[in-house]
Amino acid sequence: MSQTLLYEGCGERYRLGRVEGETPLPAAWSMHGTAFHLAAEGIERSGRRMAQEEAVQIFSDEYAVLVNKALDQEPDTTRWLSVSGSGAEDIERRYVLGQEQTRQYWEWTQEHEPAIWSTSDDQPGLELGFEVEIGGVVVRGFIDQVIVEPDGSARVRDLKTGSTKSRFQLETYGVAVQLVHGITVNKGDWYLAKKGGLSRPVDLSAVTAELVGERFATMDEGVKAGKFEAKPGFLCRFCDVKHKCSFFR
């Protein structure tokens, strides 16, 4: 699914990263997101019995490991991607920000107690992996959370530390859960760490595998045909392969 979004966003970025295998520039925002997801998963798998500071420590430890590994590969932080400030400043800023967001998530989940759905073999719907054919393309991914609705249907939820939200991502998750597990999915949403709460729900009741599959099929056909359209613009500054791109100025 992420490959389709990448291809649609910029074919040249897809080609450089996925086809040519160019080494991407590091970005602290990626490590921030990964560490936050691990902490949130830990909270939920503990049945929300984990102490708040234990969850914060999970974030801190994972973030440090990921950053140090990336620094080993690219020690020059002036080459790191950053939304604001230098790479070094962003690393420090996100360490503190991620800790606070983990505390906020712990508080939010204690207050709202969302009901985590479980599979038929009693596996909780947390970082739920799937592999399913949609539009003639094998799609793989992980769903952050699957929530049980009062009417017995499921809601797919994606945890976001950044600002970018993809309706297509939720649509794909909804279709995947229905195809693999046979449970109705009518809604999806995002937990937005920046605000410490949920987005408005997204109606997925009319989304079908055929509708979602068209985008996967289009991407697959384009890649096989060697069509990689570059889309230079403002977002190039955040591209992790811009240092290898002839379109970047």
CATH code, 178: 3.90.320.10
Say whether both 59 and 154 belong to one domain: no
Say whether both 51 and 131 belong to one domain: no
Domain presence at residue 249:
no
Angle value at C-alpha 145, between 189 and 7, nearest 5 degrees: 70
Say whether both 110 and 78 belong to one domain: yes
Summarised one tens digit per residue, pLDDT across range 185-202 is 999 999 999 999 999 999
Say whether both 144 and 238 belong to one domain: no
What is the β-pairing status of strands 137-148 and 197-198?
unpaired
Percent pLDDT > 90 in the chain is 96
Domain presence at residue 121:
no
Token pair, residue 18, equals 């996925």
Cα–Cα distances (Å) from 20 to 23, 26, 65, 228, in that order, read 9, 17, 27, 12
Say whether both 101 and 138 belong to one domain: no
Structural domain range at position 193: 126-222
Say whether both 99 and 148 belong to one domain: no
Domain presence at residue 7:
yes
Cα–Cα distances (Å) from 161 to 15, 131, 168, 218, in that order, read 27, 25, 18, 29
Q: How far is CA 19 from the centre of its chain?
A: 21
Total domains present in the chain? 2
| CA-closest candidate to residue 159, choices 121, 105, 118 | 105
Say whether both 64 and 167 belong to one domain: no
H helical segments located in the chain: 2-9, 11-14, 28-45, 52-73, 87-112, 167-181, 209-224
Say whether both 142 and 92 belong to one domain: no
Say whether both 7 and 42 belong to one domain: yes
Residue 9 binned pLDDT confidence (cut-offs 50, 70, 90): very high
Query: Which residues fall within 8 angstroms of residue 164, CB to CB, at 6 or more apart?
Result: none
Say whether both 160 and 210 belong to one domain: yes
pTM of the full structure: 0.95
Summarised one tens digit per residue, pLDDT across range 210-228 is 999 999 999 999 999 999 9
Q: Left (φ > 0), alpha (ψ -120 to 50) or beta: where does 86 sit? A: beta
